[in-house]
Amino acid sequence: MLSLEAQHVRKTYGGVTALADAGLRVRPGTVHALLGENGAGKSTLVKIITGAVRPDAGVLRLEGTDVSFSDTADAARHGVAVVSQELSLFPDLDVLSNMFPMREPRRGPFVDRGRMAELARPILDQLGLRVSLRDKVGDLSLAQRQLLEVAKALVTDPRVLILDEPTSALDSKTAEVLLDILRVLRDRQVAVVFVSHILEEVMALCDEVTVLRDGSTVLDAAPLAGLTIPKIVESMLGERHAELAEVRPRATVDLSGAVAAPRGSGALRVENVSVEDRLSDVSVTATPGEVVGLAGVAGAGHQTVLELAAGLRRPTAGSVLLPDGKPAPRGLRAAIARGVALVTGDRRRLGLMLDKPIWDNAGQVRSVALARDGLLVRKRTLRERAAEHASRVNLRTSSLEKSAGLLSGGNQQKVVLMKWLQTHPSVLLLDDPTRGVDIGAKAEMHGLVRSVADAGAVVLMCSTDLDELATLCDRVYVLHHGRVCAELAGETLRQHEILAAMNTGTVPTA
């Protein structure tokens, strides 16, 4: 009998289909890999299985009985535990309190900490998590917190344990410990679902593989024995992606004059840079007019390169030169004054003032932070300039008075771009710029990024979206354990190659 079975699950958000026909069959005593590209529907499927999201259609069975969870607590009572990507710990509480959220053992009206400790200690020891039960969770390292998440799930003694990218925050040694634990659980007949980007881990650990593509299951509980990394990559990406990769986004608007043609050498140069624990001897060059991508699994160091260019981090060795030929300054503010623009995927937290009108957001950097308009900031100027840039980036809104929080994700990201274009940047840094925007808005954003490059700016982009890297970029540097392991361009710049290099550190020979 199967421990967990999901059949024909469908889920749409608004008009966007997250899951079309997804299924998952997990046998007890196996570690089951759930794989798929970004946006393939893995997270949605996990949320449905754990009761966080209700499916539009489909069947969910636990050990042969149909179930329908009202919420995550309900799923937990049925023996489904999840270790989520977004850490869900309370940083101000201690380790022990965090392990029993809402279900502390009690003695009368009081929390029975003695009993809690008895239950918690062996699990923590097993995980090799050497912390005191009284330690505040906020003081733990990211890896320790990740292990604590796992411990929290194990306390419930689950029959089905789902791990959503559990090793992304772990160094390789700690990840190894976690993988050992999963093997122990497997021997105890627990069904483990393992969601990961890191195919090496999947190969080393899992028994069966399910692959989602565009919301449907394309590889259904295939035994690992007959699979190889290239084969898995193949089914994750599909045939048509290989053809689509040839269609490159073109510049959609003329932004000449909106960006500054870099002075001096013109290129952004990262030369033989090392950063302790993150990068060793990395060299990256991006010339004006080019869109250069940075790829890697979480923690591979690709984001550190962006941070170097933005002045958020200093190299311990080597040099980082901005297009004006001088070293990157210390601090983001100084970098911005030198013409660096930074667009992140976390637009709601880091990009926008959600309660302020569009025109106010658009003037945020140029007129407010840099005070380039002098001692006075005129609303009229802000509105006029916002209107001009809004038509340039094709912002769709009924009015510039609208609060940024009311816009769609794609339009919000356009507002973020508007505010940076006002500064005439010479370097545009993008960190997962199209995270969570729909396909149409994504294509538009890609056109805009191309336009920025064509207008003469240096564009450097990190992305978790392989399709984005393969189609939008002219060149992609792939990082593996803090080193550049591949520089892909032209014929070799395809999702297959990126994914393989990200995971193995070498480019497969065709």
d(CA 108, CA 115): 13
In the list 61, 356, 424, 483, the residue contacting another protein (rule: CB under 8 A) is 356
Shortest Å distance, C-beta 347 to another protein: 9
Minimum distance from CB of 310 to another protein (Å)? 9
User: How many Cβ atoms from other residues are within 10 Å of residue 1's Cβ?
Assistant: 8
Q: Is 14 in the site for another protein (CB under 8 A)?
A: no
**330 lies in the site for another protein, by CB under 8 A:** no
Minimum gap (Å) between residue 433 Cβ and another protein: 14
Query: What is the rounded CA–CA span in Å between residue 507 and residue 510?
Result: 9
Taking the C-alpha atoms of residue 416 and residue 390, their distance in angstroms, rounded to an integer, is 11
Q: Does 369 bind another protein (CB under 8 A)?
A: yes
State how far the Cα of 405 lies from the Cα of 347, in Å rounded to an integer.
Answer: 10
**Could you tell me the smallest distance in angstroms from the CB atom of residue 401 to another protein?**
5
Per CB under 8 A, 365 contacts another protein = yes
Q: Are residues 177 and 16 in contact, defined by beta-carbon separation less than 8 angstroms?
A: no
Task: From 75-83, 131-139, 295-303, 375-383, give the range in contact with another protein by CB under 8 A.
Answer: 375-383
Give the sign of the dihedral formed by CA 481, CA 296, CA 309, CA 86.
Answer: negative
User: Judged by CB under 8 A, which stretch of 268-276, 281-289, 352-360, 470-478 contacts another protein?
Assistant: 352-360
Residue 377 lies near another protein (rule: CB under 8 A) = yes
Q: Does 455 bind another protein (CB under 8 A)?
A: no
Q: Which of 378, 391, 396, 439 binds another protein (CB under 8 A)?
A: 378
Site string for another protein, 404-423 (x = CB under 8 A): --x------------x----
- Does position 237 interact with another protein (CB under 8 A)? The reply is no
Q: Contact at 8 Å (CB) between 383 and 400?
A: yes
Is residue 57 within 8 A of residue 51, CB to CB? The reply is no
The verdict on 336 binding another protein (CB under 8 A) reads yes
CA distance linking residue 344 with residue 338, whole number of Å? 19
Closest to another protein by CB, 130 vs 349, is 349
Is 384 a binding residue for another protein by CB under 8 A? The answer is no
| Count of residues that interact with another protein, criterion CB under 8 A | 37
- The CB density around residue 253, as the number of other CB atoms within 10 Å, is 18
β-sheet with 65-66: strand ranges across: 65-66, 57-62, 4-13, 16-26, 216-223, 208-213, 31-36, 191-195, 160-164, 80-83
- Minimum Å gap between C-beta 400 and another protein is 9
Q: Answer yes or no whether residue 402 interacts with another protein by CB under 8 A.
A: yes
Stretch that binds another protein, among 81-89, 191-199, 228-236, 337-345 (CB under 8 A): 337-345
Asked whether position 357 contacts another protein by CB under 8 A, the answer is yes
Asked if 138 interacts with another protein (CB under 8 A), we say: no
Strand order from edge to edge, sheet including 268-275? 279-286, 268-275, 317-321
When asked if residue 380 is in the footprint of another protein (CB under 8 A), the reply is: no
CB 49 within 8 A of CB 80: yes
Backbone angles phi, psi at 236, to 5 degrees: -65, -35
Give the residue ranges of DSSP H helices in 78-112: 95-99
The residues that touch another protein, with contacts defined as CB under 8 A, are 332-333, 336-337, 342, 344, 349-357, 360, 363-365, 367-371, 373, 375-379, 398-399, 401-403, 406, 419
